[in-house]
A and B are shown apart, each in its own frame.
Chain A
């Protein structure tokens, strides 16, 4: 005997799509998600600007044009201007060797490039103290030659470079892997030199990925706190980056000034997100355009 099972056919009418949740479920889920994001993202973001401007525009402008703040801005820009290009060159070199060639130990190399992401910022700073600090390997030698790395700008640059090593490389590696080697091989077969191939074939193909990585790298370079805090020595007007300046002002209970300087960094974050979204949008359009052709 076969078991025949009949269902009660529900008489209610609903024109709900076959794989869609009922409207009340959809609205509740959207509401809960937005509440969560509001509480943990939007409110903190808005509060930065609110606190910055709470005491008026004059206080705000005074805070961000104070000599210490200006020198912090200058230092932050300097550090980023060194760290980003260095990691850009590294990212291109790493991606070129990893994406265009087959060699043993490649996966290990990729993991090593990602390593700084999994190291605590504090540890990232500490290891440079261990190498260059007074008690460190090179400390005595540096002291003899009157060179200062830790508690000085070079240390800040090194720590920043360390924490931002992976950004550009990890954007470029998958991009260049996906593009393959055919175009470069065609160029070489046609007689192009290595540099010609790179500048005229590879670089135009990866320029958006490069820019994307550079933007993220820059945001982190300008915003890094933990690693820089360990190596900086917190000397006002000389080894203070913007995030460190925020900390100093905050610890002095100068909240309006702290938030004013913080708002500059928050603006940087928003610009970063806007550029990032723009590039992603452009890539998506580009892909669908290619798909249609």
Chain B
């Protein structure tokens, strides 16, 4: 007998696991493998030339650069929002706390048109930026705004529980030893929060890289300037360039898997450092 499964008196293992694997294979694994198998029909040099044209390279730079900047801003402000929600009291705190998840719940297309309307030249925010010569909508800056919106909850929601669990005693101990609040934050609190912060950052970054709906409205979608990689995949698909779209999507998938691996490692690190 194999030791694949440990003995249990509960029934239904074969049925449940069988269904799980079948469903996962049909819905997720086989379709995903299609992208890799179709790409394998290309030679390496064909593949390489598709995924490294100047227009594609520009889209990588834009997608990764802006996603990184948005995730960074979210790391800073997400930490601040989590801190304020956990530590301080202010009117309407419960509502604010609930609304932090809005970007998870609001369809991306809605976010996209709302942000575009706000930041366009005659929008509520755009009209105040115009006199300073700052254009947001239909520029890379607009992509940054959309990706910041999309990634906002990740850092807040990963840092918040860790911050809630920090024992008051640690901070009191630091205070009795003469540390001021800033020293207590930098030496005691921040190191405990850091793995969670990194996890939130990575999650926001990963989400931003693949984001499509909220970006296409506000981006302007100018090749070489404001064209993100997911849009390029759609464009190639609309031109019936299946090989090109598939090759690009394989690049995206590989990057997603690497990020998923990194996030799993970060979460493991987070669990370890909060439990010890």
A residues adjacent to B (C-beta < 8 A):
7, 18-22, 25-26, 29-30, 32-34, 36-37, 39-45, 47-48, 51, 89-90, 93-94, 96-97, 100-104, 109, 111-116, 118-123, 126-131, 133, 135-137, 158, 161-162, 165, 181, 184-185, 188-189, 193-194, 197-198, 216, 219, 222-226, 229-230, 242-244, 246-247, 250, 255, 258-259, 262, 265-266, 268-270, 272-274, 276-277
Contact = CB atoms under 8 A, between A and B. Distances in A.
Given A120-B256, A269-B102, 16 more contacts: A19-B171, A32-B80, A40-B149, A44-B115, A109-B24, A118-B210, A118-B257, A118-B260, A119-B256, A122-B231, A162-B27, A246-B107, A269-B105, A272-B105, A273-B101, A276-B105
Please indicate which of the listed interface residues A37, A90, A165, A188 has the most CB atoms of chain B within 10 Å of its own CB. Answer: A37
Interface in B1-33: 3-6, 8-13, 15-17, 19-20, 23-24, 27-32
B98 to A, nearest CB: 4
Interface of B: 3-6, 8-13, 15-17, 19-20, 23-24, 27-32, 34-35, 38, 77, 80-81, 83-85, 88, 90, 94, 96-111, 113-115, 117-118, 123-125, 145, 148-149, 152, 168, 171-172, 175, 178, 181, 184, 206, 209-213, 217, 230-231, 233-234, 237, 240, 242, 245-246, 249, 252-253, 256-257, 259-260, 263-264
Contact of A44 (B109, B111, B260): B111
B32 A226 contact: no
Please indicate which of the listed interface residues A89, A133, A269 has the most CB atoms of chain B within 10 Å of its own CB. Answer: A269
The B contact surface, by secondary structure, is: helix
A135 B242 contact: yes
B110 A41 contact: no
B128 to A, nearest CB: 11
17 contacts: A36-B80, A45-B99, A48-B114, A104-B3, A115-B32, A118-B257, A118-B259, A127-B34, A158-B27, A185-B10, A219-B105, A223-B106, A229-B234, A266-B106, A269-B106, A269-B110, A276-B98
A158 B31 CA distance: 10
Nearest to B181: A21
A114 B207 CA distance: 13
The A contact surface, by secondary structure, is: helix
Contacts of B242: 129-130, 133, 135
A247 B152 contact: no
Given A37-B100, A122-B212, A225-B212, A114 B106 contact: no
A188 B9 contact: yes
Given A43-B124, A112-B24, A262-B109, A33 B77 contact: yes
B5 A102 contact: yes
Nearest to B106: A269
A94 B80 contact: no
Given A40-B148, A104-B4, A162-B31, A120 B230 contact: yes
Query: Nearest 10 CB-CB pairs, A to B?
Result: A120-B210, A223-B107, A194-B11, A225-B213, A226-B212, A269-B105, A127-B31, A97-B17, A97-B16, A122-B230
Contacts of B19: 89-90, 93
B8 A181 contact: yes
B5 A101 contact: yes
Nearest to B113: A250
A25 B185 CA distance: 13
B110 A47 contact: no
B237 A18 contact: no
A93 B259 CA distance: 27
A165 B27 contact: yes
A265 B110 contact: yes
A122 B171 CA distance: 46
Given A36-B77, A37-B99, A118-B256, A243 B110 contact: yes
A101 B34 contact: no
Contacts of B114: 44-45, 47-48, 51, 259, 262
Given A32-B80, A131-B31, A250-B217, A197 B125 contact: no
Nearest to A49: B114
Contact of A97 (B20, B184, B240): B20
A289 to B, nearest CB: 19
A102 B58 CA distance: 47
A93 B19 CA distance: 7
Contacts of B16: 93-94, 96-97
B88 to A, nearest CB: 6
A224 B111 CA distance: 12
Contact of B31 (A42, A128, A135, A230): A128
